[in-house]
Amino acid sequence: MKPVIETIGLTKVFKDFWHRDKVRAVDNLNLTVHGGEVFGLLGPNGSGKTTAIKLMLGLLFPTSGIVRIFGLSPRDSLSKTRVGFLPEESYFYNYLNAGETLDFYGRLFELPSGERKKRGEKLLKMLGLAPSRTRPVGEYSKGMARRIGFAQALINDPDLLILDEATSGLDPVGRREVKDLILKLKKRGKTVFLSSHLLADVEDVCDRIAILYEGRLIAEGKVDELLTMKDVTQISASNISKETVEKVLNIINEEEKGAEAELTKPMESLEEFFLETVHSFESPGGKEQITRTEEAESPPPRKSVIKRLTENE
C-alpha cells in the first residue's frame, strides 16, 4: 500500500534578492506517514514544521528532494481532492458568514448543491457554530475562527487531514474537542498529520511523532516507544495500607540492589481536572459548588514523595 505522505530528501532553502542562500528551513527530510495513523510533527518555533507542511501542500516548491501525497505531486488536483488543510491562522473571507464560507469551499470541491448543504449543516452543528452561521467570520473570536477552519478542512470528508497548530488559540475545552475529533477521525480510518509545539496535545492523540530541529529530523517513532522509560517499572494499587507500602519498598530494597524506588500519589492532569471542574460547574446545581483545597499552612507539593529509598540511605 502506498504511503499517504512520503518525503525523500526534502530540502527547502530560502534565497535572498541576489539568489544567495538565506535560510535552510527544511534539510533532507525523510518521512513516511501511513494510512489511518495520526502523525505529529514537533519542534520549537522556527524548526521548519510549517515550511514542511507548505511543501506537502504545494504552497512552496522543494529546492531538492521529493514530496508525494497519495503517491502524487501535492499540486495534483487528484491528491488535493483527498486532502483537508487547516492553516496556522484563519485565512478566510471576512465578509462571508459561516454558511457562505463552507458553501464556497464546497463548490471548490465541486460537491453537488444538496451534498454541500448537508455537509455544511452537519459540520456547523458538530463544531458548535450553528447558532452563529449568519455572522460574518470576520467577527468571530479566535476559537470560533479555528472551528470554521476545521469545518472547511473537513467539507470534502478528506482521507488526509493536515493540521498546522490545530489547537493553538483554543481554550482547554476547545482543545479537548479538537483532540476528540482527531481520535474520532482516526477511528473512521482517516490519516491526520499535525504540527504543534504543544507537546501534551500531541502525546494525547498521536501514534507516531517526528521532531524537527533547525530543519533536520532528529527523532522519529511511535509515541509509546519514544516515551517509555525502559528501565523504570510502575506499580499501581488502590486502598492499600501504609504498612503494605513499606513492605513492598523493603522487598524492592532487599531484592534489587541499586534500584531507586519512589512512591507518589497519582495526579490527574491539569487539563483533566479543568475539564471535570468546568463540566460539573455547567451541570444542574453545579453553580453552587466551588472546588477548593483545604487551607494549608504551606503550599501542597506537586508530588507528595512519601519515601525515597536509595542504596546509600
Partner 1 sequence: MKLLAIAINTIRHGMRMKLVIAFVFFLIAVVVSIPFTLESDTQKGKVQITLAYSLSVLNIVLSLLTIFLSTSTFCADIRDKTIFTIDTKPVRRWEVLAGKWVGVVALNMVLLVCAGGAIYGLVKYIARPVEGGEQEQFKIKTQVVTARVETKPKAIEGKKSTFVVLPHHEREWEFHGIKPSEDIIHIKFRNFSSGAPNVEIAGVWTVGNMERGFYRQTTAFPGGTFHEFQVPASVVSPEGRLNVKFMNISPSGVTAIFPHDDVIVLYRAGGFGGNLFRGILLILLRVTFISAVGLASSTFLTFPVATLLSIFVLVMSLSFPFIDALLKQSFLFPEVGLDSGHTGLTTAFVRKFLAAGLKVFPDLRAYDPVPYVVSGILIRWAVVLKGFAAIVLLRCGMIGVIAHLIFNRRELANMGYL
Q: Please report, as ranges, the residues that interact with partner 1 according to CB under 8 A.
A: 14-15, 17, 54, 57-61, 77-78, 80-81, 83, 85, 87, 89, 91-93, 95-96, 104-105, 107-110, 152, 156
The secondary structure element, H or E, covering residue 80 is helix 77-81
User: CA 88, CA 149: separation in Å to the nearest integer?
Assistant: 9
Residue closer to partner 1 (CB basis): 80 or 176: 80
The distance of closest approach from Cβ of residue 151 to partner 1 in the complex, given in angstroms and rounded to an integer, is 12
Residue closer to partner 1 (CB basis): 74 or 174: 74
Look at the block and give the residue holding cell 487528484: 78
190 Cβ contact partners less than 8 Å away, ≥ 6 residues apart: 36, 158, 159, 160, 161
The distance of closest approach from Cβ of residue 60 to partner 1 in the complex, given in angstroms and rounded to an integer, is 5
Residue closer to partner 1 (CB basis): 84 or 174: 84
CA 272, 273, 274, 279 torsion: positive or negative? positive
Residue closer to partner 1 (CB basis): 38 or 151: 151
- Of 101, 112, 199, 207, give the one whose Cα is nearest residue 154: 101
The distance of closest approach from Cβ of residue 125 to partner 1 in the complex, given in angstroms and rounded to an integer, is 22
The distance of closest approach from Cβ of residue 40 to partner 1 in the complex, given in angstroms and rounded to an integer, is 20
Residue closer to partner 1 (CB basis): 40 or 158: 158
User: CA 42, CA 196: separation in Å to the nearest integer?
Assistant: 6
Look at the block and give the residue holding cell 509509546: 224
The distance of closest approach from Cβ of residue 219 to partner 1 in the complex, given in angstroms and rounded to an integer, is 26
User: CA 298, CA 214: separation in Å to the nearest integer?
Assistant: 43
Q: What is the CA radius of gyration of the chain?
A: 24
Residue closer to partner 1 (CB basis): 96 or 263: 96
For the record, the C-alpha cell of 70 comes out as 497519495
The distance of closest approach from Cβ of residue 66 to partner 1 in the complex, given in angstroms and rounded to an integer, is 17
